[in-house]
Structure formats: structure tokens, C-alpha cells
Amino acid sequence: MKNKNLLNLLSFIATLVFVSCTNTPQKNSALYQTGTINALLDGLYNGEVNFKQLKEKGDFGIGTFNTLDGEMLGFDGQFYQVKSDGIAYPVNDSLKTPFAVVTHFNKDISTQLRDTLNYKGLIQYLDSKIPTANIFYAIKIQGEFNYIKTRSVPKQTKPYPTLVTVVAKQSTFTFTNVKGTLVGFRFPDYTSGINVPGYHFHFITDDKLKGGHLLQLSGINATVAIDAIHSIQLDLPRNSIFYEMDLSANKEKDLEKVEK
Ligand SMILES: [Zn+2]
């Protein structure tokens, strides 16, 4: 009897320890990514991961939706879908994604930026702030922008065209003297094929009504927060379409057309 009580007590303590460990916020950030950029470029627009699952992996991130139905971004645990009309909609947990990257954002570097620079200038500025080009970064830029140009892509039907074909007909949107947030990542050059090497940002206005994939900007008065990340979980599709794709080709030229 005594032993049984002791066992119960031990198992109770073990449960408490387990629960408190799983509730502890991660101090060291990790990236979680579903899908690969080269599979997306070749028209793999349906994934198996839903936003309920994705939110468990991070409160901050970017990506797209099944059928390529718009640009996705999330921060502070709230995720948005910027459809091809440029309007931002809250994301329902049951929606799925073929390509997304998220993290639990913990800022390591924070700076104030006030400059007339454009996107290229912003890239140079960010490169001067990071300690190395060989790890991952999550970047949040919150403030005012003199000019922002974004795009979004329309929902596709089967047989799916390649991403280059879709982007040739993308809708673009311009914003002047706008308050909002840029959510993005920097991936090392050696990750080409898996994600977008270099910087990739999505934008949303402060009122959470409009946004899209960032194409150009100029004039910033904002807070820049950077999370340096050393770890990635890459979750690959579990279906025959992905298994049978030829992902051996170098797609950097396609990526250039799609991202810029
Ligand atoms: Zn994008």
C-alpha cells in the first residue's frame, strides 16, 4: 500500500514536471517549415498542414495557402490571409498550407531605423546588423513607410500552372505614408531550393485590412527586431505528387521572377 502511494506521488510529480516543461516558452528559437520553395515553384499548391498545427510551431511567420490562395503572414499569434484583392482576412485554423515558415519570435537585436532608403538599402542595412550570413533570421519591422508596393496571387485550379506563370498575372498594390508591419526571414544562400535565399517579407497595415508580399519600399521610420535562429525543422509532404517531382533542377532564375 505504502509503495503504491509512493508510486502515485512519483507519477504525479513526473506529470507536474512534464506539464511545466511543455509550458515553458522556448528560449532558443527554432524555425518550422512545411513544404519547399522548389516544389511550390513547380505547382505543388496543396499541403497537409493546417493553421491549428502551424500555430503550435510558431506565433510569427509567412507563407501561402492551399490552391495558392493569397499571401500569408502572422505575428503576435495572429495570422492573416491577403487575397488577390489585396484585402487581409483573419485565417481560419482549418485552412491548410503547402508552404510556410514560422517561429516563436524572440528578439535578439533591436534597432530604430529612420532613413529614405529603398528595399535594396534596407537589405544592406539589415546585413550590417546581423553577426553572420550563415544562420537563419526572423525579422519584424514595425512603423511608418513613405511607400510600399506589394502583390498577391489568385487562387488556382487544377491542373496547376507553375508559380512563374501565376506571378505573371499577379495583382500589385501601392501604399503611401502607411503605418504597418513587415514580417520576414533571411535564409542563407546554401538553403536555395528549400526556401528563398536572402530576405523575404510580407506586409500588413496597422489596421490589419491590407497587405501582401513585399516588392518595393522607400522611406522608413520603424523599429527593427531581429531573432537569430540556429535550428530548423523541415516538414516534407507525405504524398505521391511530392514523391514523384523532379526537384533536382536549379530554380534560381524562376525564383528571381517570382520574388521581385
Ligand atoms: Zn512572399
- Whether the per-residue pLDDT at 84 is higher than 90: the answer is yes
Q: What is the mean pLDDT of the chain?
A: 92
Least confident range from 4-18, 55-69, 143-157: namely 4-18
> Does residue 162 have a pLDDT over 80?
yes
- Domain ranges for the chain: 34-259
Q: Please name the residues in contact with 187: beta carbons below 8 A apart, sequence gap of 6 or more.
A: 136, 194, 195, 196, 197, 198, 200
Residues with CB in 5 Å of ion ligand 1? 213
Place of cell 515553384: 41
Expressed in angstroms and rounded, the spacing between residue 214 Cα and the centre of ligand 1 is 7
pLDDT at 4: 58
Answer yes or no: is pLDDT of 119 > 70.
yes
Asked whether the predicted pLDDT for residue 27 surpasses 80, the reply is: no
Q: Examine residue 159 and say whether the peptide bond preceding it is cis (omega within 30 degrees of 0).
A: yes
Ligand 1 centroid to Cα of residue 45, in Å, is 14
Using CA atoms in the order 120, 42, 79, 141, what is the torsion angle rounded to 10 degrees? -10
The band of 25, judged by pLDDT with boundaries at 50, 70 and 90, is: very low
Cα 242–chain centre separation: 21
Q: Please provide the DSSP assignment of 207-251 as one string.
A: TSSBEEEEEEEEEEEEEEEEEEE--EEEE---SHHHHT----S--
What's the gap in Å between 35 CA and the centre of ligand 1?
14
Residue 209: pLDDT above 60? Answer: yes
On the question of pLDDT at 106 being above 90, the answer is yes
81 CB neighbour count, 10 Å cutoff:
22
Instruction: Report whether pLDDT(123) > 80.
Output: yes
184 CA → ligand 1 middle, Å:
9
Strand-pairing partners, residue 145, are 178, 220
Give the C-alpha distances (Å, rounded to integers) separating 102 from 40, 213, 222. 17, 16, 22
pLDDT recorded at residue 24: 41
More confident site: 45 or 6: 45
Question: 155 C-alpha to center of ligand 1: Å?
Answer: 15
Residues 133 and 188: beta-carbon distance below 8 Å: yes
pLDDT tens digits for range 39-56: 999 999 999 999 999 999
Question: Is 0.85 surpassed by the pTM of this model?
Answer: yes
Looking at the predicted structure, is the pLDDT value of residue 7 above 70? no
23 — pLDDT class (breaks 50, 70, 90): very low
Of 242, 33, 95, 118, the closest CA to residue 83 belongs to 95
**117 pLDDT higher than 70:** yes
Residue 104 near residue 140, CB atoms below 8 Å = no
| For the chain, percent of residues with pLDDT exceeding 70 | 90
Q: Is domain 34-259 in CATH 3.20.20.140, yes or no?
A: no
Mean pLDDT of 243-253: 94
How does residue 149 score in pLDDT terms, banded at 50, 70 and 90? very high
One-letter amino acid at 87 equals: I
Q: What is the pLDDT of residue 22?
A: 44
Q: How far is the CA of 28 from the centre of ligand 1 (A)?
A: 25
How confident is the model over 120-133, as a mean pLDDT?
98
Rounded Cα gap, residues 258 and 234, in angstroms: 22
For the chain, report the end-to-end CA distance as a whole number of angstroms. Answer: 71
Q: What is residue 3's predicted lDDT score, i.e. its pLDDT?
A: 59
Question: Is 109 within 8 Å of 129 (Cβ atoms)?
Answer: yes
The cell numbers describing 145, all together, are: 513607410
pLDDT, one tens digit per residue, over 163-178 is 999 999 899 999 999 9
- Rounded CA-CA distance 103/61 in Å is 6
CA of 193 to the centre of ligand 1 (A): 15
pLDDT of 238 above 80:
yes
Q: What is the per-residue pLDDT for 222?
A: 98
107: helix, coil or strand?
coil
DSSP 165-179: HHHTT-EEEEEEEEE
